[in-house]
Structure 1
Amino acid sequence: MKNILAFLYQWLIFVPIFVVITIITALTVMLMAPLFGSKFWGYYPPKWWSRLTCWLALCRIKTKGHENLNPRQSYVFVANHQSAFDIFLVYGFLNQNVKWMQKQSLRKIPFVGFASEKAGHVFVDNTNPKLRAASLKKAEEQIVDGVSMVIFPEGARTRSGAMGQFKRGAYYVAHDLKLPVVPLTINGAYDVLKRDGFRLKPGKMELVIHPPIPTESLTESEIPALIEETRDAIYTGLWEKYK
């Protein structure tokens, strides 16, 4: 009976409302961001869209570590990637004006892809080194006036709940702009909605914000050590079942 009620809630309540608020949010960003700038209109409507999505999915949210951040400082946030709900958790509850570095394939999503472009998010083209470098350059242009960038260094959602290897792109952005790197640990999103799954399972999600790691004196040869430092920090915050 419980499974039947959950199925009915997901497809008769959650999905229809989610589609409606997604279209409304996307249209708002598409119309307002080009006219009045993406710093406000590319952040606040999606932030509340993300919060509403988490609440509508009946998820309980816990965050800690906000005291580690300065809202006027730009950062490069790096996080483990458990689920599509990672985006809702971070966007909705990090409380930091952020842009996202996203896969090029997400540009094709109706409404959302175009709205993401107008909001100033960056689509990474990995088809060749030249296009990848151009993507990184565009990412650097977005991180100004207290706006930060969120990047998933794994590049794809986990299939098991455990972390994969981290790629270097996020760290080159931080190195080039001399911005602090902030590790974020995401817990619980994997159980809410698994990769390639369609069954929504309401539960607890947690966002852990670790202390920023400065990069002012970082050399390119030290980037591998920085990757390991951030990965270790994220790992310490994981729930035991994800380690």
Structure 2
Amino acid sequence: MNIGQALERVRTGPQGPRVAAFFDFDGTIVHGFSGVHFFRDRLLAGKVSAAELAGTMINGLRGTDSEADFERFVAVAFKAWRGHTEQELYEIGERLFASTIAGHLYPEAWQLIAAHREAGHTVVIASSASRYQIQAAADALGVEHILFTPLEVVDGVLTGKVDGKSLWRSGKAEATRAFIDSQDILADDSYTYSNGGEDAEFLSETGHPTPTNPDGTLERIARKRNWPILRFRPRGTPGAKEVVRTAAAYAGMIGSVWTGIGLGLVNRSRKVALDSMLGIGSDVSLALAGIDVRVSGEANAWVRRPAVFVFNHQSQLDPVILAKVLRQDFTGVTKQEMANDPLFGPLLRFVGTAFVDRQNTERAVAALGPVVDTLREGMSVVVAPEGTRSLTPQIGRFKKGAFRIAMEAGVPVVPVVIRNAGEMLWKHSTLVRSGIVDVAVLDPIDVGDWTLDDLATHIADVEELFRATLTNWPEE
């Protein structure tokens, strides 16, 4: 089973809240083991004692073949949290999700969760991890229900003990059964997703067990029981190939800038220089990075110009991708800090980018004034209405600036929905991965009859259009 078939199964199957989708966390929603990031964070902060380090290493060498092994493992792991408040651990979880764990999120898992939510299903994360390791990801993914290993808390402070049974192997299956019973879930119509052989019993709790990125044990069980196997694109640490591709892509971009300048000087045309930089630069750098851009609705990029092109922002690749799609006659709006970027700052200034101080509303509004003049002169503008790159494919709240510019200049808004750019170059990453980025250029939106009074409603509609497109990607 591929991700397209898995999504279609959800869309065409039974709908509503009595159908549930249970997702394991580590290895299924995120690559690897989230506990490693918590341990490394404490280790780097000098908070891991010699006894804890030795106990962790011994448990790692022993492995977790039985439930007794796992209970021994979590006893050592969670004992280290004794004396911490719940609030402290939630804050650590949020910080680690933002800095590291979100970069290990499988985009396909996000797509599946979004599809289940769109179908009205009850979505649940079921994990042997603690709630503090999962909550930030659940919030980002819009998952309300979490089943987790409970830890003992007294007056808001952890004692370092597990409060009951860990949700590993039979513990996870039992917790899932209890949830199904308490929520009146239709088990036969529901779904379970997990990657580990220890979760065979958990997977069997629903009518649609789906081994996802299965280890060897689970793969053997799946083939024996004729369960469909779902695999996601690996999210492991980039290797030497990614280092070489990234260096080549940056070198190609710099070379293309100088080529554009040369062509501009020869033709005595700033426009030729700009168009050459955008066209050649995007083609060369993406090709060297091993990234193919697949565009749906490409005609919409040209049918109404000038326009305000709004896009969902998840990656530093987004401007390069937009340059490949739009090709010429556009500039952008970006944060003030980018003006001082040693690599992109000079180029952004050369192409006429407007730099906005996000911390000062008055200055931001003043900076957008010349953008209206740029549109009236025939040059299009690209804007990320979320204001910053997001950690996940989830669409953030859109700000009003881009839409007010379009209204004042009397030009349409054209939504450009980008999928998978964050997978190629995540927000906090410096290395580019090869692959395919999908872009959907949607129909231009006429803002001629918009008013300030109904602006918030129109913006909410555009936000929803982005979400709907990412959930149900258009087919050419």
The CA distance in 1 between the partners of 2:260 and 2:458, in whole Å, is: 35
The CA distance in 1 between the partners of 2:393 and 2:332, in whole Å, is: 22
Q: Structure 2 stretches of 5 or more lacking a match?
A: 1-233
Aligned equivalent of 1:16: 247
Aligned equivalent of 1:89: 321
Give, in angstroms, the shift of residue 201 of structure 1.
2.2
The CA distance in 1 between the partners of 2:261 and 2:355, in whole Å, is: 16
Give, in angstroms, the shift of residue 40 of structure 1.
3.4
Give, in angstroms, the shift of residue 163 of structure 1.
1.1
- Residue number among 51, 71, 77 corresponding to 2:309 in the alignment: 77
- Spell out, residue by residue over 1:28-55, the C-alpha distance to the aligned partner (whole angstroms, 9 max, x if none): 566748x955443223312321122221
Aligned equivalent of 2:464: 232
SS at match of 1:60: strand
SS at match of 1:162: coil
Matches within 5 A, 1:56-67: 56-67=288-299
Give, in angstroms, the shift of residue 127 of structure 1.
3.5
Which shifted more, 134-143 or 174-183?
Answer: 134-143
Give, in angstroms, the shift of residue 14 of structure 1.
2.1
The CA distance in 2 between the partners of 1:222 and 1:45, in whole Å, is: 39
Give, in angstroms, the shift of residue 111 of structure 1.
4.6
Aligned equivalent of 1:202: 434
In structure 2, give the amino acid aligned to 1:22.
Answer: M
- Residue number among 239, 244, 250 corresponding to 1:7 in the alignment: 239
- Spell out, residue by residue over 1:158-209, the C-alpha distance to the aligned partner (whole angstroms, 9 max, x if none): 1122111111110110111111011111001011111102343212101101
- Residue number among 158, 165, 175 corresponding to 2:390 in the alignment: 158
- What TM-score comes out, normalization by structure 2 length? 0.46
Aligned equivalent of 1:215: 447
> Structure 1 residue 68 and structure 2 residue 300: aligned?
yes
In structure 2, give the amino acid aligned to 1:23.
Answer: I
Aligned residues: 238
In structure 1, give the amino acid aligned to 2:250.
Answer: V
The CA distance in 1 between the partners of 2:353 and 2:270, in whole Å, is: 10
SS at match of 1:183: strand
- What TM-score comes out, normalization by structure 1 length? 0.86
The CA distance in 1 between the partners of 2:464 and 2:423, in whole Å, is: 22
Aligned equivalent of 1:168: 400
Which shifted more, 14-23 or 169-178?
Answer: 14-23
Aligned equivalent of 2:330: 98
The CA distance in 2 between the partners of 1:3 and 1:160, in whole Å, is: 14
Aligned equivalent of 1:108: 340
Distance 1:136 1:218, change over 3 A: same
Supply the RMSD in Å over aligned alpha carbons. Answer: 2.7
The CA distance in 2 between the partners of 1:237 and 1:161, in whole Å, is: 12
Distance 1:116 1:196, change over 3 A: same
Q: Structure 1 stretches of 5 or more lacking a match?
A: none
Matches within 5 A, 1:116-195: 116-195=348-427
Choose between structure 1 and 2 for higher RCO, CA contacts under 8 A separated by at least 6 residues.
Answer: 1
SS at match of 2:324: helix
The CA distance in 2 between the partners of 1:128 and 1:3, in whole Å, is: 38
Note if contact 1:103-1:125 (Cα within 8 Å) is conserved in structure 2. yes
In structure 2, give the amino acid aligned to 1:123.
Answer: F
The CA distance in 1 between the partners of 2:318 and 2:257, in whole Å, is: 19
Aligned equivalent of 2:273: 41
Which is greater in Rg?
2
The CA distance in 1 between the partners of 2:235 and 2:407, in whole Å, is: 48
The CA distance in 1 between the partners of 2:351 and 2:260, in whole Å, is: 7
SS at match of 1:143: helix
SS at match of 2:295: strand
Note if contact 2:245-2:432 (Cα within 8 Å) is conserved in structure 1. no
Percentage of matched positions with identical amino acids: 24
- Spell out, residue by residue over 1:83-131, the C-alpha distance to the aligned partner (whole angstroms, 9 max, x if none): 1111111111234522111111111112521221121111112332331
Note if contact 1:75-1:149 (Cα within 8 Å) is conserved in structure 2. yes
SS at match of 2:333: strand
The CA distance in 2 between the partners of 1:199 and 1:68, in whole Å, is: 31
The CA distance in 1 between the partners of 2:258 and 2:361, in whole Å, is: 33
Which shifted more, 187-196 or 141-150?
Answer: 141-150
